[in-house]
Amino acid sequence: MNDFEVKEELLKQAEELAQNPEAADALSKASLLRKKWRRVSSSEEESLYDKEAADRFYSALDVINAKENEILSSVEDRKNAVIAKAKEVLEMKNFKQATKSMEDLMDEWKSAGVLPKEKNDELWGMFKAVRDEFFANRKQYYATLTETFAANKIEKEKLIEGAKEANKLENFKEIANIMNDLMEQWKKTGSAGRDNDDNLWAAFREERQAFFKNRNAYYDNLKSTYNQRVDAKKELIATAKKCLALSEFTDEEVGTVKGLRNSWKEIGFAGKDNEDALWNEFNTVLNKYFENMRYYK
């Protein structure tokens, strides 16, 4: 690119910049354009076009220079606004979101524009102080959080061990009470950290599932046992009714009836939904038999 083409490009950029003199970077860009223009070599006798181009170039920069105070005031306002926002970030509780906000504010600071060195350094010192405070707070928070995670991990491991010990018991009602209590404690215990939470929960959940599986199997088996006992007791009732219907009161018959009570006890409990009704029916038949026996003898 020759000198003519370079000046054409610089003139174009200067006039475009003059159309938006309030831009945050207008002063710095104008200064850079001026330096580039001066570096472009020219002949000892500039052409009429060169003089005309130079007039247009410096006229465009004069538009920006005339706005210098307004531009600097606007830049200062923007930077003060960034500092104010940074102070608000200090109050945020979510450090992940706060860190993102602080990073965005740094981008906003960079695009706010440039001030004279003394003022720029002053405002930067204020902004940096807020940023330093934020990152110190974040460091302390995560250090404390690490300790909290470690404590919660130990607590949850204790709860898992408690669940394992509970599963060694035989009384399912007692185990259920313990499991419920352990679950309430688990809910109140905070996070042990993303690297630990899933594994800890899986181990605790495994013990709870083992309890439910064992309890369901126990009650399924108990229900089957109760059904068998109901059938056995109904057979005793049928035998008692048969003896009552005959009422011959022979030694063999009386012995059979008396033995029914022992057989009843040996069968065992048939479940709360069945036991009372079966017993009442059985006992009524036996009482009637022995009442008849006293009458006939």
Are 62 and 74 in a shared domain?
Answer: no
Residue 132 lies in a domain: yes
Question: How many structural domains comprise the chain?
Answer: 3
Residue 208 lies in a domain: no
Which residues, other chains included, contact 204 with Cβ-Cβ below 8 Å and sequence gap of 6+?
156, 159, 160, 163, 182, 186
Are 290 and 234 in a shared domain?
Answer: yes
Residue-number span of the structural domain to which 260 is assigned: 225-296
Residue 219 lies in a domain: no
Among 29, 48, 66, give the residue marking a domain's end. Answer: 66
Q: Tokens at residue 182, please?
A: 């352990």
pLDDT per position as a tens digit, 167-204:
999 999 999 999 999 999 999 999 999 899 999 999 99
Which residues, given as ranges, of the chain have pLDDT below 50?
A: 44-45
Residue 242 lies in a domain: yes
CB burial class (10 A; 0-12, 13-18, 19+) of residue 22? Answer: exposed
SS3 assignment, position 292: helix
SS3 assignment, position 111: coil
Distances (CA, A) of 122 to 70, 72, 98, 125: 19, 14, 24, 5
Are 37 and 73 in a shared domain?
Answer: no
Are 74 and 62 in a shared domain?
Answer: no
Residue 217 lies in a domain: no
- Sign of the four-CA dihedral 27, 28, 29, 32: positive
Which residues, other chains included, contact 154 with Cβ-Cβ below 8 Å and sequence gap of 6+?
none
CA distance 169 to 162: 11
CA distance 203 to 255: 59
Are 53 and 161 in a shared domain?
Answer: no
CA distance 50 to 55: 9
Q: Tokens at residue 272, please?
A: 């709360």
Residue 200 lies in a domain: no
CB 288 within 8 A of CB 247: no
Residue 153 lies in a domain: yes
Place of tokens 């460091």: 139
Among 24, 50, 66, give the residue marking a domain's end. Answer: 66
> 0.85 cut: is pTM over it?
no
pLDDT given for residue 66 in this prediction: 60
Are 181 and 273 in a shared domain?
Answer: no
pLDDT given for residue 74 in this prediction: 81
pLDDT given for residue 80 in this prediction: 95
